[in-house]
Amino acid sequence: MRILIADKLSTKPLEELEVLGLKIDYRPDLDADALPAALADVNILVVRSTKVSRQSIEAASALNLIVRAGAGVNTIDVDAASDRGIYVSNCPGKNAAAVAELVLGLVLALDRRIVDATIALREGRWAKSEFSEARGLYGRRLGVAGFGAIGRLVTERAQSFGMKVHAWSRSLGAGRARELGIERCDSLVELAAHSDVLSLHLPLTGATRGVVNRGVLEALPDGAILVNAARAEVLDYGALAEVAPKKRLRLGLDVFDDEPAGGKASYRPRIFDAGLVYGTPHIGASTEEAQASIAAEVARIVRCFLTEEELPHVVNICRTTPARYCLVLRARDRVGVLANVASVIKRHGLNIEEVHNTIFQGAVAACTKLRLSGRPGEGCLQEIRAFEEVLHVDVIPLPNLA
């Protein structure tokens, strides 16, 4: 079993899996263009920011699993992987603490203008009167857009500063909000209107692309702070460039709509012309703690793939099975039993959608659950019962489907 790591990642946790026959090919400098040629005979692919295109996936005949060493899978053509029966998994929440720390760092820096004050001192200017004006965070309102792992950690840290937290998320109910001591908003516009600081923690989906639009930005109070350490695509940067100067917004950005690929480039974000903007070059997850946690989670996912039935964080498995009936087969644990049963089911025009097989103590008997596309007729069942090794057969309609 060969694993290709096509981005910078600690390989130490994975090296422990070599006892399971895993061969590690560490090539962190591979880019999207070179990836297809590198995937020959690769069984498991691990990436961070490297894009995995349909071309790459179709070139990888031996590929079984793609792991994104981070949250989200927007850099991977998940549809192409699904078409070829390849698992796609990721590591949600493992960089949450690192991103939450950066968010609060940007908020503090913007409120106290720490960067500008430092630059002034480096230039030999003691500008105490200029930088002594700050509103402070205690008692101010923080709006959290998206309440996943990062949003929750940002909330906890902000509450320790004495901030009053409002949140909007499709998964956040009123009862849960009360338990956490926060106010739940019904829309992003309502959230923005109640935010002296608005922090974005939305995953990138079809529903969230551009969701922080001009209407949301216009609802922010004058002089508010906006932080985006999530995805550039959830925020309308064009509208932001127009609204920010008018409303005197302070911006803290770790992601940009036109950021370059790679680790180094000559680049000045266009949004920096919009007023007081502090930025970092997409480094939200780049702490030693986060990288160690992500590497350990990648190793766990790979280990589960090699040794377990359940694979963590898979994003491309059917959540609603197309199967309509379950055939429960109890039979002797002998060679060819399942092959014989499957041939009968095929002959009767039914498709086996899912299989679960359990071997009982002593390895004498097994119970197999075959989820089928339709109900097997009596003729089909009689053929299956006729096999000497078959002990019993039941057909069960699947709940809410048949």
Q: How many other C-beta atoms can be found within 10 angstroms of the C-beta atom of residue 315?
A: 17
Beta pairing class for 164-168 and 65-68: unpaired
State the Cα–Cα distance between residues 369 and 326, nearest whole angstrom.
6
Catalytic pick from 68, 113, 231, 250? Answer: 231
DSSP states of 90-108 as a string?
E-TTTTHHHHHHHHHHHHH
DSSP states of 148-215 as a string?
SHHHHHHHHHHHHTTPEEEEE-TT--HHHHHHHT-EE-SSHHHHHHT-SEEEE-----TTTTT-B-HH
Q: Which residues pair with 331 in a beta bridge?
A: 366, 390
Q: How many other C-beta atoms can be found within 10 angstroms of the C-beta atom of residue 268?
A: 8
135 closest CA partner among 103, 110, 156, 106: 110
286 closest CA partner among 138, 35, 41, 102: 102
Beta pairing class for 365-372 and 352-359: antiparallel
State the Cα–Cα distance between residues 190 and 375, nearest whole angstrom.
51
Active site residue 308: no
249 closest CA partner among 272, 215, 223: 223
Structure tokens at 276: 């007081």
Active site residue 259: yes
SS3 at position 42: coil
Structure tokens at 39: 């995937």
Q: What is the residue whose two structure tokens read 């001591």?
A: 181
Catalytic pick from 259, 300, 324, 330? Answer: 259
Residue 202 near residue 231 (C-beta atoms within 8 A): yes
Catalytic pick from 282, 300, 303, 375? Answer: 282
66 closest CA partner among 53, 79, 81, 51: 81
Active site residue 166: no
Q: What is the residue whose two structure tokens read 């960067």?
A: 115
Give the active site residues: 231, 259, 282
